[in-house]
Amino acid sequence: METCYRHSDRETGVSCSNCERPICPDCMTSTSVGMRCPECARQKTKVKTLASVTTPSLTYVLIGINVAIHLGSFLSGASATGGSVGGSLITEGAVSRPGVADGELWRLLTAGFLHGGLFHLMFNMFALYVLGGMLEPAIGRLRFGLVYFVSLLAGSFGALLLTPTGLTVGASGAIFGLMGAAVIVMRNRGVNPMESGLGMWIGLNLLITFAIPGISIGGHIGGLLGGGLAALLMYDLSDRIRVPQAVTTAMVVAMGVLAVTGSIAISAA
């Protein structure tokens, strides 16, 4: 057992969250970032955020693709109000067990770029704009893209798992994945997700997911778990056991492959 650096006769299991020196109860100062020693408690803590000056260009590209495809779906006969999912683009691109069972694996990806109505599109694109503007500059374009597409595929897997019949569309699985990843990255950077408002936002969206009929529960939960696990591999695992970035990147890619494999197995059952 270590002893307090100021009181050598006092054993303690607590360390300063800044300098990591052992401190006893008399030397502890509670702060928003943990217990601090007297010296560190007097220092001003630098405010940590995820944002930087880097332009989230991939986020803008993804939004542009979603909007362009939705305009195309209007031309193919899709509903403008979202009252019914229709149109040849949605019929041929939405994720469904019969379609995947027939070998139409592109549905696992294209479903994430199709929407059932203008409100559906606007809600998802606003969320992508906010989350992408925060997360992409913080983790880089490559990792952001990995999280997005792995979350999308995990969302498709979740939708197939809980929706045996019917069609599922929307970028919500990828959006929920970004939420899950943002929580992990915030914790890794020393930012409290609850203080940022992200925790409340996730809770509200989960409440809506379970409260409103017609929303893909499997797609949302699958995406949330997929994005959160991808971020855990790339950040927490990498930091704790010093795994090279190339290895964690390969593991995240393997997650996407597993999501596709699971989708095929469920659809063929």
Task: Please identify every residue annotated as catalytic.
Answer: 172, 220
Q: Which of 42-46, 72-76, 120-124 has the lowest mean pLDDT?
A: 42-46
Please give the angle made by the CA atoms of 54, 55 and 59, to the nearest 5 degrees.
125
For all residues of the chain together, what is the average pLDDT? Answer: 86
3-state secondary structure of 139: helix
| Residue 50 maps to a domain | no
| Residue 52 maps to a domain | no
Same-domain pairing of 160 and 37? no
Using the CB atoms, write b or e for 37-65: b if 16+ within 10 Å: beebbeeeeeeeebeeeeebebbeebbee
| Residue 46 maps to a domain | no
Residue 27, pLDDT score: 83
Residue 103, pLDDT score: 95
Whether 80 has a pLDDT exceeding 90, the answer reads: no
**CATH code of the domain containing 66:** 1.20.1540.10
Whether 127 has a pLDDT exceeding 80, the answer reads: yes
**How many structural domains is the chain composed of?**
2
Residue 51, pLDDT score: 52
Same-domain pairing of 103 and 206? yes
Same-domain pairing of 152 and 192? yes
Query: Are the C-beta atoms of residues 141 and 88 closer than 8 Å to each other?
Result: no
Q: What is the extent of the structural domain holding 31?
A: 2-41
The proportion of the chain whose per-residue pLDDT surpasses 90, expressed as a percent, equals: 52
The proportion of the chain whose per-residue pLDDT surpasses 70, expressed as a percent, equals: 88
